[in-house]
Amino acid sequence: MARYTRLLCIFAVLVLLTAACGGDDNGDTAEETEETTGSATNTEPADTTPTPVVEETMALTSGENANFHEEENVAAEDSVEVELDDNYFEPTILTGQAGQEITLELFNEGGNIHNFSIADQNIDQDLEEGGNEEVEVQFPESGAVTFFCKYHQELGMRGELKVA
Ligand SMILES: [Cu+2]
């Protein structure tokens, strides 16, 4: 609701400006910026939605590279959906509390078999194309732990559980 009110205000200002400038043709610049709640480390500009094709890579806390598809704060959650696709995890970065346990609902939406592994937690879960599985994971006491697809990690199919 606050956002809607803000849009109205911006629109009103634009109308005033347009009138003051004698009908300048700038009425189409009112595209609103996306709200980016809870992702202070987001390196993107305001708008993150329409960039599906180009693979953006990032360095995980471990120094390994990952194909980056979103960061999500799950500190208040008992479970969260994680998409496995060709070849990335979305969200790629899950931030949570130290020692937090959480259920990951894994969905393979890609065209290949994929896998979710965390070496330190003895997790090695395959997912057939179209498959879904649940795994219980735990955030570390500090820093981050890497998860990966054992078939495609060299292609950047990695992510991490990071303590906020
Ligand atoms: Cu994979």
43 Cα to the center of ligand 1, angstroms:
25
Output the CA 82–ligand 1 centroid distance in Å. 13
Average pLDDT, integer, range 83-110:
98
Buried b or exposed e, range 2-29, using 16+ CB within 10 angstroms: eeeeeeeeeeeeeeeeeeeeeeeeeeee
Percent of the chain whose predicted confidence (pLDDT) is above 90: 66
Q: What is the pLDDT of residue 54?
A: 73
Task: Render the burial of 66-89: b for 16+ CB within 10 Å, e for the rest.
Answer: bbbbbbbbbbeeeeeebbbbebbb
Instruction: Give the pLDDT band (50/70/90) at residue 21.
Output: very low
Mean per-residue pLDDT of the chain: 81
Measured in Å, residue 134 CA sits from the centre of ligand 1 at: 16
Question: How are beta strands 79-85 and 88-90 bridged, if at all?
Answer: antiparallel
86 CA → ligand 1 middle, Å: 7
CA distance 72 to 31: 25
**Pairwise pLDDT comparison (47 vs 140), residue with the higher score:** 140
Output the CA 116–ligand 1 centroid distance in Å: 8
Binning pLDDT at 50, 70 and 90, where does residue 11 land?
very low
Please indicate, yes or no, whether the overall pTM of this predicted structure exceeds 0.85. Answer: no
Distance (angstroms) between ligand 1 centre and the Cα of 160 equals 15
Rounded Cα gap, residues 31 and 143, in angstroms: 38
